[in-house]
Amino acid sequence: MSFEYIQAKDIPEAVMMLGKYGDESRILAGGTELIPNMRHHAISPKILISIKPITSLCYIRYGENNALNIGALTPLRMIERSSEIVRSHSLVSECVRSIATFQIKNAGTAGGNLCQTVKCYYYNQSHINFFMRQSLEPCRQRGGSVCHASRVDTFNHAILGKPANGCIATTASDLATPLLALNACVKVIGSKGERLISPEDFFLGGGRTALREDEIVTEVQIPSLADTTRSTYGKYSQGTRNFPILNIAVIARLTPDRKFCEDIHAILGGVSVIPLRLRSVETQFRNQEISSLDIEDALRDDLPGVRIRGSLSEYKLKRAKTMVSDVIHSVLG
């Protein structure tokens, strides 16, 4: 690792520096993913722009209509410990509680979690695999033209849908899935000003986001939820750093007697390159009596079959279906 280190004192300075140094530079916030990636030689930026001094981006606030606004530099642990968020948006609390470890969450930030690159053992996972990777042709993430993962039966990658820019790694951000379910917005600032991006447009897959070269994430805005709304988050992961292999966020608005489902949002992460909206489940369950719902039938359209037939992919699909069914039952039950 060899680079220049500069600190931005405020947002305009960070934007100006990004504009000046372009793709030779990277933003350093918590550093919990950037530094391992640099150590694994996955990326080698020439300049790191530390935005840690911008303390004005560290906050949890409630704005208009009780919408929850989280500053991009808010540590994940602060979000997890916020009793207001447990009350107003328990889905976010549950999700953040499941992320990595105490230490990672004290350093890692909300904005950083959204801007993660992919996690793939052909690209950046573990130093041992660095030697394995040297014997392979570089993958697309490393400037090559192949995706090694797409040739094999896999458990850690997308099992259905199209690759993103030739890469089949899934979105590594835990928060992506609940933010989609919550209809949240990501606020970004660049040289051309401020804009709000919906998570559906923000995550592009293949470790890319809709951020332009000189833009940084400044805030996540999450609308308030009605009192009759119930939600649950589910996750399957392995290892200490536990990136989501599968995660699911479900929000449903029920009638006060809990017999009818008025509205439902169900997002499943880990099966495709970006979290998948379970459209059939949402359409078939909206305005329906809960006792009449058949999840398996609805999932047949949303999760048709795996890309490469094999025990790992098929097991992942089965596991995903079970998770969806369990989480939806717990929300509607």
Partner 1 sequence: MSHRRINLRINGMDHEVEVDPEDILLDVLRERLNYTGTKKGCDGTGECGACTVLLDGKAVYSCLILAMDAVGKEITTIEDLARGTDLHRIQKAFLECGAVQCGFCTPGMILTAKALLDENPKASEKEIKEAIRGNLCRCTGYVKIVEAIQHAGENYGK
Binding residues for partner 1, rule: CB under 8 A, are: 1-5, 28, 31-32, 35-36, 39, 48, 50, 52, 75, 77, 97, 100-104, 106-107, 126-127, 239-241
Question: Min. distance of Cβ 270 from partner 1 in angstroms?
Answer: 21
Question: Min. distance of Cβ 263 from partner 1 in angstroms?
Answer: 33
Q: Which is nearer to partner 1, 71 or 75 (CB)?
A: 75
Q: Which is nearer to partner 1, 104 or 216 (CB)?
A: 104
Q: What distance lies between CA 298 and its chain's CA centroid? A: 24
Question: Min. distance of Cβ 103 from partner 1 in angstroms?
Answer: 5
Q: Which is nearer to partner 1, 101 or 165 (CB)?
A: 101
CA separation for the pair 109, 252 (Å, rounded): 28
DSSP-derived pairing of the beta strands 25-28 and 47-50: parallel
DSSP-derived pairing of the beta strands 185-190 and 193-197: antiparallel
Q: Which is nearer to partner 1, 107 or 290 (CB)?
A: 107
Q: Which is nearer to partner 1, 4 or 289 (CB)?
A: 4
Q: Which is nearer to partner 1, 135 or 240 (CB)?
A: 240
Question: Min. distance of Cβ 35 from partner 1 in angstroms?
Answer: 5
Q: Which CA distances in Å does 129 have to 91, 116, 125, 136, 152?
A: 35, 20, 7, 11, 17
CA separation for the pair 264, 251 (Å, rounded): 6
Question: Min. distance of Cβ 256 from partner 1 in angstroms?
Answer: 33
C-beta atoms surrounding 219 within 10 Å: 23
CA separation for the pair 148, 136 (Å, rounded): 9
Question: Min. distance of Cβ 201 from partner 1 in angstroms?
Answer: 30
C-beta atoms surrounding 312 within 10 Å: 16
Question: Min. distance of Cβ 97 from partner 1 in angstroms?
Answer: 8
Q: Which is nearer to partner 1, 126 or 228 (CB)?
A: 126
User: Token match 């939600």: residue?
Assistant: 231
Two tokens at 34? Answer: 């950037």
Q: Which is nearer to partner 1, 39 or 318 (CB)?
A: 39
Sign of CA dihedral 85, 101, 320, 199: positive
Question: Min. distance of Cβ 129 from partner 1 in angstroms?
Answer: 11
User: Token match 């890692």: residue?
Assistant: 108
C-beta atoms surrounding 184 within 10 Å: 23
Q: What distance lies between CA 43 and its chain's CA centroid? A: 20
Q: Which CA distances in Å does 298 have to 27, 280, 289?
A: 42, 5, 15
Q: Which is nearer to partner 1, 43 or 312 (CB)?
A: 43
Question: Min. distance of Cβ 109 from partner 1 in angstroms?
Answer: 13
Q: What are phi and psi of 311, to 5 degrees?
A: -65, -40
- Asked whether the beta carbons of 323 and 234 are under 8 A apart, the reply is yes
